[in-house]
Structure formats: structure tokens, C-alpha cells
Amino acid sequence: NDADFKDRKRQWNRILNYIENLSDKSHLILTGDFNHGVISSHINGYRFKPRQYFNYQMVVSDLKKRNITLFPMEGASYRGYMKIDHIATGEKITVNTAVYKDVFKDAVEIGTPDHSFIVASIKCA
């Protein structure tokens, strides 16, 4: 619903504020569940939907404005069709490879992650 995605946007803004206060963003590695929902191919796909308030394109744009690059990954990280987990890096970090690793498969035990892990090889300049 709208309130949920507005709250997700507020949470994202807290991350952006934290990043803004870093004196050096060049060695930053940001990874995890960005919680933006299903990705539409164009921002107009969000019109009249809760994702108009927070979506993948906003994440990419916000990071780009701060010289942080979202690494393009293949596959899905959640429920077999959603790509909501990401790795993003500052300009002095290079991601050589990054893949989703579904360690727990379809386990639904409390305390077991329901998202795939991101396993990455990175290089620091």
C-alpha cells in the first residue's frame, strides 16, 4: 500500500543521509535488501501504484548522484522472481563478480534468511 512504500522511502532517505555525512564515499560498499519492490522497465510503470513513492529507478538515481554504482546482477534474490538485494560501491571499489547464492533454498524456519546471499569478488583501488 502507499503508506508502506512511503515508509520504505523514509528508510532509504536515512541511508542516503548517512552516506552524505561520510567524508570519503570512494571506498563505500553498500549491500543488502533495498526493498524497492518489483522492477518495472520504465518509471511510468509505477504510476498510480505504491511503487511511485519508492522504486528501483530512484535507488539507481540517488546512488549515481553520490558517485556510487549499483553492480548489475543476473537472476533473482527473493522468491525466485524479485531482484531487491544489491551491491553498490564507491568509485575506488571494483566489483569483479557478484552472484546470488541461495543457501537455504525454500527453508521457512524462523531465523533462516529468505533472501539469497550476495557472494562477490571485489578489488580496492
Element (H, E) at 13: helix 2-20
**Three-state SS letters, 45-64:** HHCCCHHHCCCHHHHHHHHH
Question: For residue 104, is pLDDT > 80?
Answer: no
pLDDT of residue 40: 83
Residue closest to 71 by CA, chosen among 10, 121, 23: 121
pTM given for the model = 0.84
pLDDT in tens, 33-90: 888 877 788 788 888 899 999 998 999 999 999 999 999 988 878 777 678 789 999 9
CA dihedral defined by 65, 21, 8, 92, rounded to 10 degrees? 50
CA distance 14 to 111: 26
More confidently predicted of 14 and 35: 14
